[in-house]
Amino acid sequence: MNILERFKSEAKKNPQKIVLPEAIDPRMLTAAAISFDQGIAWPTLLGSPQEVKSEARRLDISVEGIEIIEPEKSANLDEYVAEYMRVRKVKERVARRLLRRTLYFAAMMVRKGDAAGMVSGVTSITAAVIRAAGLVIGLKEGISIPSSFFIMVLPDKDYGEDGTLVFADCAVNQNPSAEQLSEIAFTTAQSAERLLGWEPRLAMLSYSTKGSAAGPLPDKMVKATEIIRQISPHLAVDGELQADAALVSEVAARKVKGESPVAGRANVLIFPDLNAANIAYKLTQYLAGAKAYGPILQGLRRPVNDLSRSASVEDIIGVIAITVVQAQAKEV
């Protein structure tokens, strides 16, 4: 059973209500209908019921039985506005203007427990999704920044866990400090353990392996590695490592002197910045034919997940299933 089928199977055991604020997008609407029909999730679509049903007819799909909510006409709007005013200390007109937007309304549904999770991003940029989730739902205690990861499934490869790797942070933090990278690494390790059932082995990536080159980027990864070892001494983490030294045992044997719990067998790759991470996941997706599920957001109080604007219907269904599994465990 591949990883997507595993998530679907787990989701079907206890489907959760997942709100989808981009209902008019054909891919999202199709994914919602399939998720509902297969018992993966109970989707709630946000938008005009007339427009949603019209688009469904055009696509020749059924939305019978799927909840459709128009935020401006929702019976919960006043309650949501009052909650946002209380949390953010803003005037009613500001709160009402925001809560009429589907992203903010969806996030408030999750905050109030009217939905178990939220999936968005096919028509919204990542920054907008995170802004809505951050303002409405907020960060978990002890977390200073949200971050993200992709689950990368490579066909006919044995890197990581039978061809599956986790890449972080591919969508959120542009140029994290060493301290922020250590938090991203720790949070990603928790996500890999809880969501995937792995024993995470983290490689802190750079263009240098164990001092083979000098510069501020390798230094940052070395410092981040030192910090995370202090935070979690039992976590398998090593750095700085080049990607080949992290993934290929033969290369690791040549480049890494001494013992390493990670070199040549990493399953979680922590990149030095957003440039490297985002480029790497897209190259892996398109050149290696990998499936890329995410970006899965982490650090928020409730499950909220983003999507690439190039996401396929299959990608969206996969992220909906992942969000259901997160909601089942009440972990992000």
pLDDT band per the 50, 70, 90 thresholds, residue 331: very low
- Domain of 108, CATH number, reads 3.40.50.10950
On whether both 319 and 239 belong to a single domain, the answer is: no
On whether both 172 and 257 belong to a single domain, the answer is: yes
On whether both 187 and 151 belong to a single domain, the answer is: yes
The answer to whether residue 292 is domain-embedded is: no
The answer to whether residue 56 is domain-embedded is: yes
Number of domains in the chain: 2
The answer to whether residue 265 is domain-embedded is: yes
Q: Please state, for a pLDDT cut of 90, what percent of the chain lies above it.
A: 87
Phi-psi region of 213 (alpha: psi -120 to 50; beta: other; left: phi over 0): beta
Residue 54's contacts (CB-CB under 8 Å, 6 or more residues apart) are none
pLDDT for 108? 97
pLDDT digits (tens, 9 = 90+) for 295-317: 899 999 999 999 988 889 999 99
pLDDT band per the 50, 70, 90 thresholds, residue 184: very high
Sheet holding 147-153, edge to edge: 67-69, 42-46, 17-20, 117-119, 304-305, 291-298, 147-153, 164-168, 268-270, 201-205, 236-241
Average pLDDT score, the chain: 94
On whether both 124 and 159 belong to a single domain, the answer is: no
The answer to whether residue 172 is domain-embedded is: yes
Name residue 327's amino acid: A
On whether both 91 and 198 belong to a single domain, the answer is: no
On whether both 151 and 108 belong to a single domain, the answer is: no
pLDDT for 1? 64
pLDDT digits (tens, 9 = 90+) for 211-234: 888 888 999 999 999 999 999 999
Instruction: Give backbone dihedrals phi and psi of 46, rounded to 5 degrees, phi first.
Output: -105, 130
The answer to whether residue 293 is domain-embedded is: no
On whether both 188 and 124 belong to a single domain, the answer is: no
The answer to whether residue 244 is domain-embedded is: yes
Lowest average pLDDT, out of 50-54, 73-77, 140-144, goes to: 140-144
pLDDT band per the 50, 70, 90 thresholds, residue 29: very high
Residue 2's contacts (CB-CB under 8 Å, 6 or more residues apart) are 153
What's the domain range around 249? Answer: 147-287
pLDDT digits (tens, 9 = 90+) for 166-181: 999 999 999 999 999 9
pLDDT digits (tens, 9 = 90+) for 84-143: 999 999 999 999 999 999 999 999 999 999 999 999 999 999 899 999 999 999 999 889
Joined together, the tokens standing for residue 134 give 């951050």
Asked if pLDDT for residue 332 goes beyond 60, the answer is no
Checking DSSP bridges between strand 291-298 and strand 117-119, what pairing results, if any? unpaired
The answer to whether residue 12 is domain-embedded is: yes
On whether both 109 and 49 belong to a single domain, the answer is: yes
On whether both 187 and 318 belong to a single domain, the answer is: no
The answer to whether residue 294 is domain-embedded is: no
Asked if pLDDT for residue 32 goes beyond 50, the answer is yes
On whether both 182 and 50 belong to a single domain, the answer is: no
Whether 122 and 307 have beta carbons less than 8 Å apart is answered as yes
Asked if pLDDT for residue 47 goes beyond 60, the answer is yes
Asked if pLDDT for residue 237 goes beyond 80, the answer is yes
On whether both 164 and 99 belong to a single domain, the answer is: no
